[in-house]
């Protein structure tokens, strides 16, 4: 059964690249998106029965649907990857970049690797 989930990831990667995007999996064990606040990044432990995120940070008090908050945490994490990859380019780079541009760079790198292996 574990192989099935790996295949799903491969298929999503393929289809996302075909559509001009890319697929990223967040490290949920370390990121803990269902417990982390999207506004202040504070961890607030919850049970599965808790369907609303209420931040435990008294300075934040962010309240959001648990799934929406987790999606926001994942998006912030993924955009951090985007920002890190743009910062790692050249210091003379002035374009803001986008997730689509990052995907294009990744596909270009994959094509180069495939052509070298042939």
pTM (2 d.p.): 0.63
Contact 44, 37 (CB under 8 A): yes
Of 29, 41, 103, 30, nearest to 72 by C-alpha is 41
Q: How many CA atoms lie within 13 A of 9 on its CB side?
A: 8
Lowest average pLDDT, out of 37-41, 60-64, 85-89, goes to 85-89
Pair of tokens at residue 6: 């790996």
pLDDT for res 85: 60
Contact 9, 18 (CB under 8 A): no
**What is the arithmetic mean of pLDDT over 4-30?**
88
Contacts of residue 117, defined as CB under 8 A and 6 or more positions apart, other chains included, come to none
């Amino acid at each position: 059964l574990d192989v099935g989930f790996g295949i799903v990831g491969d298929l999503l990667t393929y289809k996302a690249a075909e559509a001009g995007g890319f697929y990223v999996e967040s490290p949920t064990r370390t990121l803990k998106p269902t417990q982390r606040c999207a506004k202040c990044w504070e961890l607030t432990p919850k049970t599965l029965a808790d369907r609303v995120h209420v931040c435990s940070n008294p300075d934040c008090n962010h309240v959001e649907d648990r799934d929406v908050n987790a999606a926001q945490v994942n998006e912030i994490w993924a955009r951090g990857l985007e920002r890190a990859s743009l910062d790692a380019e050249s210091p003379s780079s002035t374009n803001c970049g986008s997730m689509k541009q990052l995907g294009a760079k990744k596909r270009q790198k994959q094509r180069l690797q495939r052509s070298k292996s042939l």
